[in-house]
Structure 1
Amino acid sequence: MDAFLQTLHDLVVEHRLLVCAILALVTLLEALLLVGVLIPIMAVMLTAGALIATGSLHPVEVVVWCSIGAAAGDAISYLIGQRIGAKAVRHPAVAKHRRTVARARLYTRRYGVLALLVARYLGPLRPFVPMAAGMSRMRDWTFHAANTVTAPLWVVSVLAPGYLAARNLGYWKPDPQWLTALAVGGLLLVATVAVVRAAPFKVQPSKA
Structure 2
Amino acid sequence: MDLMQFFDMILHVDKTLGHLLAQYGIYVYAVLFAIVFCETGLVVLFFFPGDTLLFIAGAFCATGEMNYWLLMALLITAAVTGNTLNYWIGEKIGQRVFTHDYRWINKDALRRTHDFFEKHGGKTIILARFVPVVRTFAPFVAGVSDMTHARFQFYNFTGAALWVISLVTAGYFFGNIPVVRDHLTAIVLVGVGAAIVPLALGGMWKVGRRMLSK
What TM-score results when the alignment is normalised by the length of structure 1? 0.60
The reply on whether 1:80 has 2:89 as its aligned counterpart is yes
Q: For residue 161 of structure 2, what is the amino acid of its counterpart?
A: P
Judge conservation of contact 2:72–2:165 (CA < 8 Å) in 1.
yes
The reply on whether 1:19 has 2:31 as its aligned counterpart is no
What is the number of residues matched between the two proteins? 150
Q: 1-side partners of 2:24 and 2:42: how far apart?
A: 30
Q: For residue 142 of structure 1, what is the amino acid of its counterpart?
A: R
C-alpha distance 40-13 of structure 1, shift in aligned 2 (>3 A): closer
Q: In percent, how many aligned pairs have the same letter?
A: 27
In structure 2, what is the equivalent of residue 123 of structure 1? 132
Residue among 38, 43, 50 paired with 1:41? 50
C-alpha distance 123-166 of structure 1, shift in aligned 2 (>3 A): closer
Calculate the aligned-residue CA RMSD, in Å: 3.2
| Deviation, structure 1 residue 167 | 5.9
Unmatched 5+ residue regions in structure 2?
1-17, 98-103, 105-109, 179-214
Q: Deviations over 1:127-182 (max 9, x none)?
A: 1110111112122222122222321211011213322224668xxxxxxxxxxxxx
In structure 2, what is the equivalent of residue 199 of structure 1? none
In structure 2, what is the equivalent of residue 32 of structure 1? 41
Whose relative contact order is higher, 1 or 2, with alpha carbons under 8 Å and at least 6 apart? 1
Q: Deviations over 1:99-134 (max 9, x none)?
A: xx9xx8786355121211101112222211101111
C-alpha distance 109-141 of structure 1, shift in aligned 2 (>3 A): closer
Q: Deviations over 1:29-58 (max 9, x none)?
A: 111343342112122112201110101111
In structure 2, what is the equivalent of residue 184 of structure 1? none
Q: 2-side partners of 1:105 and 1:139: how far apart?
A: 9
In structure 2, what is the equivalent of residue 134 of structure 1? 143
| Deviation, structure 1 residue 18 | 2.0
Q: For residue 113 of structure 1, what is the amino acid of its counterpart?
A: G
SS at match of 1:129: helix
Q: Deviations over 1:58-101 (max 9, x none)?
A: 1110000001111111001100110011768xxxxxx9xxxxx9
In structure 1, what is the equivalent of residue 61 of structure 2? 52
Q: 1-side partners of 2:51 and 2:159: how far apart?
A: 17
Q: 1-side partners of 2:96 and 2:65: how far apart?
A: 46
| Deviation, structure 1 residue 12 | 3.9
In structure 2, what is the equivalent of residue 108 of structure 1? 117
C-alpha distance 86-139 of structure 1, shift in aligned 2 (>3 A): closer
Unmatched 5+ residue regions in structure 1?
1-8, 89-94, 96-100, 170-208
Q: 1-side partners of 2:82 and 2:151: how far apart?
A: 16
Q: 2-side partners of 1:126 and 1:48: how far apart?
A: 19
